[in-house]
Amino acid sequence: MYFETYVRDVPDFPKSGVIFKDITPLLKNPKALLRASEALFDMIDSPIDKVVGVDSRGFIFAPILATKLNAGFVPVRKKGKLPHKTESASYSLEYGTDTLEIHTDSIQKGEKVLVHDDVLATGGTASAVCQLVEKLGGQVVQCNFLITLDFLEGREKLNGRKITSLLSY
């Protein structure tokens, strides 16, 4: 399946000069959604205990992957959105800064973790998530994305971690 036909460019969103990769055409097509889920799953080649999904579009595929892997799902959310005790990490992204949080009891020491998000851009978000996982004692074995924006060099911030994606731009 040609997944790129289901991704549309939205210029100047969320701010001028940014070309946003919109995955909602893929999500509304049941066949494309199923095939993308299967393809993301097929890229995982290590045992996984937890799948961490990044707020908010990482929540779409991460629970599906967790279910297929017989693993737990862990949400990483923007600051102030999780109700229990959290760890936090701040980061820069291509159009600003933000803070992410994870529940302190969501990952146990030594657990093997897959980090999933929709897009790897500058790497700030994914790097912050990996730091949170490792702070809790988890081992990030793979970072999985629907899309990588290679021209923004986000891979460099992930310090040699295994990175997989369905599409690269």
Chain position carrying tokens 């629970």: 63
Distance CA 116, CA 127 (A): 12
Residues 62, 71: Cα–Cα separation, whole Å? 10
Give me the catalytic one of 4, 35, 87, 94. 94
Verify whether residue 101 is a known catalytic residue. no
DSSP bridge pairs for 115: 52, 143
**Catalytic hit among 35, 57, 155, 161:** 57
Contact 75, 133 (CB under 8 A): no
Could you give the CA distance from residue 9 to residue 14 in angstroms, rounded to a whole number? 12
77 catalytically annotated = no
Task: For residue 126, give Cα distances in angstroms to 2, 34, 102.
Answer: 25, 24, 13
Angstrom distances, CA of residue 52 to CA of 82, 137, 142, 150, 152:
14, 14, 11, 22, 23
Residues annotated catalytic, as ranges? 57, 94
